[in-house]
Amino acid sequence: MKKIIELKNITKSFDGEVVLDHIDLDIYDNEFLTLLGPSGCGKTTTLRLIGGFETADEGDIIFMGENINNMPPHKRNVNTVFQRYALFPHLNVFENVAFPLREKRVPKAEVEQRVKEMLSMVALTGFEHRSVTSLSGGQQQRVAIARALISRPKVLLLDEPLAALDLKLRKDMQQELKNIQKAMGITFVFVTHDQEEALSMSDTVVVMSEGRIQQIGTPIDIYNEPKNAFVADFIGESNIVDGVMLEDRKVAFSGHVFDCVDSGFEKKEPVDVVVRPEDVDIVAEDKGMLKGVVTSVTFLGVHYEIIVDINGFKWMIQTTDFVDVDEHIGLFIEPEAIHIMKKSEYSGMFGDYSSFSNELDELSDAESESEE
Amino acid sequence: MKNTSSSARRGLVYRMVLAPYSLWALLFILVPLIFVAYYAFTDQNFNFTFDNITRFFTATSTVNDGAATKEIHTYLVIFARSLKLAVISTVICLIMGYPMAYIISRASQRTQNVLITLIMIPMWMNFLIRTYAWMTILQDTGILNGLLARIHLGPVHIIGTEAAVIIGMVYDYFPYMILPIYSVMAKMDVKLLEAARDLGCNSAGVLRRVIWPLSLPGVISGVIMVLIPSISTFYISQKLGNGKFYLIGDAIEGQYAANNLHFAAAIAFILMVVLLVCMALMQRGANKKAMVV
């Protein structure tokens, strides 16, 4: 695959605060790449650097082999779908979509034809003369996409484009964006803080935190082989416990020695052990590798989410078997379900569910959204 | 049932709250207007007549401009002169105010507040005092010529010229141009400007295709708020024009002073109608433009 954009050693600060800390990232032709991370992780700044709205303090941005550090946005062969769409309120749907073509003085007949094509691609045929302010959020979104794609950019940048839509519409748009990307055969760079969205749409996921890239990989890699406690916690739910690698394929944690599939660590090396909540089987107490007491049970439709206290450390387990609060249960974990990570600066910060509450989680999500 | 009665009650409350303002509008806006119209279309004995109106369009006088004596339509010439000076002043205000409003609207909130306050401070001073100050500055032996003499330039003769009148109008009415434009620009979403750049506009393109059309409502209010007072002012032209530039405002004032209320009312009425038509045309043009650009 051909590299289309290369970020080399990019550093950026605002008012002395480092927002991007020596970022290296290659973006390939024709891929759907997602920058994923909590608010303030630098994902939007990365996008704005590629779009040309910010300049890096250090480092280089290479676009198809050419250094574009100082190229203004209107000369870059990339277009952006902005977070709240940024449609021009004084122009109707047709003129919004035709905006870039008018700038290039494209002949009238061609403008007419290309706008028609674009509008039909985003299913807005017949909306040409509507005012953009009279459209619903989803329709405005489509106009923004059509407008960004009409000049046939090499790369489309999308800054949390679905954040303002309701859940149902968001799911539809995810699928549609994916289809558009395939149909156009261009690169999409997508920014989101929604890990589920990132996993379901992307070819490549870039997990960011505190201005640094934590991990780059396919959605399956990122989920199954997280590099550190931050990634494990941010992508899906994880129980992360301290462990010691006894030898290859043998790890001790929570007072028990487990078989696992990881190797290549030092003897007696302290490690972080990740076990996904859906990978734990509940068995009778005397048959379990670990024993614990159920402290809470939440019914979530497809499964129950239960919190189990094991020697003071709270585990989250997702199960379809019903257990009751205060019940003593045993846990069984298969070797494939255990993932070993090197210790990192994030060790000990995540993966304990002792203060867990669904509600709190949502509250803090809403807060972080409004910050941006 | 309950719903309709409560909404009817709300309607009543609303009308009661509105009443003082309606009364105000009636007493101090509508009634005076009717009086102006009534005086304009009546003679000394309050008999209906078109004479005052016709006089405005037909009255002539003889002037000697040094080389020859000419017959001119007195009030049409005065009106044209007022219009010319007012339009020039408005255009200068717009050319100076528009970029300034944009620059202020892009500054930090703190800087914006400081700059806007600075622009408004002259408005807190009495209008007459401001005009007198300009007399002192622009006189042949005034402050400006004093300064020029120090750097061995000048003297320049400004007082009593059209330039002096225009300087006075621009100075006095400039804040009325900048404030409405600024308030529209301050509300403009920065993302729209970024979007325009992203979609291929250079700086000039962003200005022409996004900033200008979106700021048009502010520009129109600014133009109206500068054009109207400067077309009808009489004080500035008397003091800074040394009375040599008789403007429509001076004509109205002169007729009132001469106790010729009916003709004064007629001039005022005609001025009002002309301005109303101009405003309507401008608003219409702007609406059309906003749809097309």
Element (H, E) at A93: helix A93-103
Cα-based angle A43, A49, A53 (whole degrees, multiple of 5): 115
pLDDT at B4 over 80: no
Measured between alpha carbons, how far apart are the two ends of chain A, in Å? 34
Asked if residue A306 and residue A205 are part of one domain, the reply reads no
Task: Count Cβ atoms below 10 Å from residue A345 Cβ, excluding itself.
Answer: 12
Instruction: With cut-offs at 50, 70 and 90, classify the pLDDT of residue A357.
Output: low
**pLDDT at site B5:** 64
d(CA B116, CA B11): 39
- pLDDT, averaged across chain B: 87
Assigned CATH topology for domain B73-292: MetI-like fold (1.10.3720)
Q: Is residue A232 part of a domain?
A: no
Q: Is the alpha carbon torsion for B21, B27, B29, B30 positive or negative?
A: positive
**pLDDT at site B139:** 86
Asked if residue A198 and residue A50 are part of one domain, the reply reads yes
Asked if residue A192 and residue A320 are part of one domain, the reply reads no
**pLDDT at site B122:** 85
pLDDT at A72 over 80: yes
Give tens-digit pLDDT for A202-227. 999 999 999 999 999 999 999 999 99
Asked if residue A297 and residue A209 are part of one domain, the reply reads no
pLDDT at B249 over 70: yes
Is B290 in CB contact (< 8 Å) with chain A? yes
Asked if residue A149 and residue A125 are part of one domain, the reply reads yes
**pLDDT at site A350:** 81
Q: Is residue A234 part of a domain?
A: no
Instruction: With cut-offs at 50, 70 and 90, classify the pLDDT of residue A131.
Output: very high
Asked if residue A213 and residue A102 are part of one domain, the reply reads yes
Give tens-digit pLDDT for A151-163. 999 999 999 998 8
Asked if residue A244 and residue A187 are part of one domain, the reply reads no
**pLDDT at site B256:** 87
- What value does the CA radius of gyration of chain A take, rounded to a whole number of Å? 24
Q: Is residue A231 part of a domain?
A: no
Strand partners, A258: A251
Asked if residue A244 and residue A201 are part of one domain, the reply reads no
Strand partners, A317: A306
Residue numbers in B near A130 (CB within 8 A): none
Instruction: With cut-offs at 50, 70 and 90, classify the pLDDT of residue A101.
Output: very high
The model carries a pTM of 0.80
**pLDDT at site A118:** 93
- Could you tell me how far CA A170 lies from the centroid of its own chain? 15
Going by C-alpha positions, the residue among A311, A313, A239 that lies closest to residue A279 is A239
**pLDDT at site A340:** 92
Element (H, E) at B206: helix B203-206
| Domain ranges, residue A348 | 239-371
> CA nearest B202 in A: which residue?
A74
- The three-class DSSP label of residue A326 is coil
* Cβ–Cβ under 8 Å, residues B197 and B206: yes
Nearest to A86 among B194, B201, B290 (CB): B194
Residue numbers in A near B194 (CB within 8 A): 53, 73, 80, 82, 86
List, in order, residues 6 or more apart from A162 with CB less than 8 Å away: A141, A170, A173, A174, A192, A194, A197
Please answer yes or no on whether B199 and A147 come within 8 Å at the CB atom. yes
Asked if residue A262 and residue A157 are part of one domain, the reply reads no
* Cβ–Cβ under 8 Å, residues A93 and A134: no
d(CA A125, CA A119): 5
The full 3-state SS of B74-113, as one line of letters, equals HHHHHHHHHHHHHHHHHHHHHHHHHHHHHHHHCCCHHHHH
Token representation of residue A183: 């149909």
Give tens-digit pLDDT for B67-104. 777 788 888 988 999 999 999 999 999 999 999 999 99
d(CA A202, CA A129): 34
> Rounded to the nearest 10 degrees, how much is the dihedral formed by the CA atoms of B46, B50, B53, B59?
-100
Residue of A15, A90, A115 to mutate, testing the B interface (most B Cβ within 10 Å of its Cβ)? A90
- The three-class DSSP label of residue A104 is coil
Q: What are phi and psi of A63, to 5 degrees?
A: -120, 115
Domain boundary among A224, A254, A281: A224
Domain boundary among A177, A198, A224: A224
Q: Is residue A233 part of a domain?
A: no
Please answer yes or no on whether B214 and A89 come within 8 Å at the CB atom. yes
Asked if residue A143 and residue A17 are part of one domain, the reply reads yes
Structurally, how many domains does chain A consist of? Answer: 2
Please answer yes or no on whether B199 and A151 come within 8 Å at the CB atom. yes
CATH of the domain at A65: 3.40.50.300
Asked if residue A268 and residue A216 are part of one domain, the reply reads no
**pLDDT at site B148:** 87
- What value does the CA radius of gyration of chain B take, rounded to a whole number of Å? 24
CA distance B203 to chain A (A): 9
Q: Could you tell me the residue ranges of all domains in chain B?
A: 73-292
Share of chain A above pLDDT 70, in %: 95
CATH of the domain at A367: 2.40.50.140
Instruction: With cut-offs at 50, 70 and 90, classify the pLDDT of residue A355.
Output: low
Q: Is residue A194 part of a domain?
A: yes
Residue B50 has, within 13 A of its CA and on its CB side, a CA count of 3
CA distance A90 to chain B (A): 6
Of A293-307, B135-149, B183-197, B207-221, the range with the lowest mean pLDDT is: B135-149
d(CA B171, CA B208): 28
Strand partners, A173: none
> CA nearest B212 in A: which residue?
A90
Please answer yes or no on whether A151 and B197 come within 8 Å at the CB atom. no
Is B67 in CB contact (< 8 Å) with chain A? no
- pLDDT, averaged across chain A: 89
Give tens-digit pLDDT for A55-71. 999 999 999 999 999 99
